[in-house]
Amino acid sequence: MPDIFRVSEAASLALHAMVYLAAFPEEKITTQTIAGALKASEHHLAKVMQRLVHAGLIRSTRGPAGGFQLNKSDREINLLEIYEAVDGPLEPRSCLLGSVPLCGGDRCFLGGLNVSVHQMVKNHFADTRLTSLTRIFGEKK
């Protein structure tokens, strides 16, 4: 059975990296530091961070004292913005039972479960701000 909801590794890295940055708002944090905290590939994380810069969610400062910081308040950034900056629009997945040409639309015997779960996840991502998650990486400084 296909997944109801899937988060790519890149989107997962983006979500976690953004929460990490929100936990330390006054600091410029390097990719190396974030990758270490997340136990992730520094190379992959660097690509993800550039997508977040391009989306305007974070800013990058080069040089020995450089690093990444949020581009706006953690109260203004929700999880949906972060997810969509990396994976594009959050769309419902296809049929949970695979490709069955007979099913579709109002003929789905799962009664729209896929659509309901998708909407719940989308609403949760849209309603959850970074500020509510910073405790994951310790108290906000």
pLDDT in tens, 43-69: 999 999 999 999 999 999 999 999 999
Q: What's the mean per-residue pLDDT of the chain?
A: 88
Architecture in CATH for domain 9-137: Orthogonal Bundle (1.10)
The structural domains of the chain, with segments of one domain joined by +, span 9-137
Residue 78: the pLDDT is: 98
Distance between CA 141 and CA 134 in Å, rounded?
10
Run of H or E including 59: strand 58-61
| pLDDT score, position 74 | 95
What sign does the dihedral 135-141-15-64 (CA atoms) show? negative
Query: Which portions of the chain are predicted below pLDDT 70?
Result: 1-4, 93-107, 111, 138-141
**Looking at residue 99, what is its pLDDT?**
61
61 strand-pairing partners? 67
pLDDT at 91: 82
> pTM score, two decimals?
0.86
pLDDT of 30 reads 98
